[in-house]
């Protein structure tokens, strides 16, 4: 099963058939990645072996004492601007219809908000973002004078800055001073993201982290809930 679907329905005055004005897709990743795939951007095309890039599906860290699976992603930000992301296509939407989207993301992080690191804080300088696009979010090669880089084909913004295709949901920082995994929750309930579906009734969801911390970041996405409300 790809996800859990929660409907909040209503009826139009001229049509007695229930119409879902709002619905939520809930991805818990217990049995599989559920259609989400991971990738990396803002790094050189060559020499990626030193970035320690990994994407996998498996158990949460043992210290959480939870027998649950999650999406795991890690990377060493040696380019001063590493973007680590997951994407998934959604179909069966109403064609060419405006929706407001609220993301609720639960992830396991071990990085204190007040910690200090190279280039920035491991907790306060890694920014969680989410959004949606009609075009599939992909990396494209940007040719440079010395090195070619992989950049996103969507506007995700840069680190703490929003883009037209992705909003910031805060940092991955946890409270306290100890580097120990705990589950944190981030959302954009105070400013829903608005997007219009394609003529075929599809769009792409994308979540990720934009890092200013020049070290290794390892995160586990435990649950992603996206609530669609028809505009």
pLDDT of residue 29: 98
pLDDT of residue 3: 60
CA distance readout (Å), 161 to 3, 23, 57, 166, 227: 30, 29, 29, 9, 23
pLDDT of residue 119: 82
Q: Map residue 76 onto helix, strand or coil.
A: strand
Quickly count helices (H) and strands (E) in the chain. Answer: 0, 16
Nearest to 128 by CA among 184, 69, 60: 184
Tokens of 144: 């440079």
The number of domains in the chain is 1
- pTM of structure: 0.91
Q: Go through 202-224 and write b for each residue having 16 or more CB atoms within 10 A of its CB, e for each that does not.
A: ebbbbbbbbbbbbbebbbbbbbb
Instruction: State how far the Cα of 222 lies from the Cα of 71, in Å rounded to an integer.
Output: 7
Q: Which residues, in sequence order, are bridge partners of residue 129?
A: 168, 208
pLDDT of residue 120: 87
DSSP 175: S
Tokens of 101: 């989207």
User: Residues of the chain whose pLDDT is less than 50?
Assistant: 1-2, 8-19
What are the tens digits of pLDDT across the range 91-129? 999 999 999 999 999 999 999 998 988 888 999 999 999
**What is the residue range of 35's domain?**
4-230
Q: Map residue 96 onto helix, strand or coil.
A: coil
pLDDT of residue 144: 77
CATH number of the domain encompassing residue 81: 2.60.120.260
pLDDT of residue 145: 75
pLDDT of residue 35: 98
pLDDT of residue 226: 98
Count how many Cα atoms sit within 13 Å of the Cα of residue 41 in the half-sphere of its side chain.
24
Instruction: State how far the Cα of 225 lies from the Cα of 25, in Å rounded to an integer.
Output: 6
Residues 6 or more apart from 17 whose CB is under 8 A from it? 11
pLDDT of residue 5: 59
């Amino acid at each position: 099963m790809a996800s859990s679907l929660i409907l909040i329905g209503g009826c139009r005055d001229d049509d007695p058939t229930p119409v879902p004005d709002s619905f939520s897709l809930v991805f818990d990743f217990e049995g599989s990645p559920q259609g989400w795939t991971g990738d990396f951007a803002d790094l050189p095309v060559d020499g990626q072996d030193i970035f320690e890039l990994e994407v996998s599906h498996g158990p949460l860290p043992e210290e959480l004492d939870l027998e649950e699976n999650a999406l795991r992603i890690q990377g060493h930000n040696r380019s001063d601007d590493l973007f680590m992301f997951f994407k998934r296509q959604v179909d069966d939407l109403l064609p060419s219809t405006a929706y407001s989207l609220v993301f609720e993301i639960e992830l396991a992080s071990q990085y204190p908000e007040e910690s200090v690191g190279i280039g920035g804080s491991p907790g306060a300088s890694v920014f969680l973002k989410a959004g949606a696009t009609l075009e599939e979010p992909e990396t494209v090669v940007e040719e440079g004078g010395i090195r070619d880089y992989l950049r996103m084909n969507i506007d995700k913004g840069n680190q703490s800055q929003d883009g037209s295709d992705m909003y910031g949901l805060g940092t991955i920082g946890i409270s306290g001073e100890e580097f120990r995994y705990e589950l944190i929750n981030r959302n954009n309930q105070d400013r829903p993201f608005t997007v219009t579906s394609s003529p075929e009734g599809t769009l792409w969801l994308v979540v990720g982290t934009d890092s200013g911390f020049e070290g290794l970041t390892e995160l586990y996405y435990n649950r992603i809930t996206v609530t669609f409300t028809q505009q």
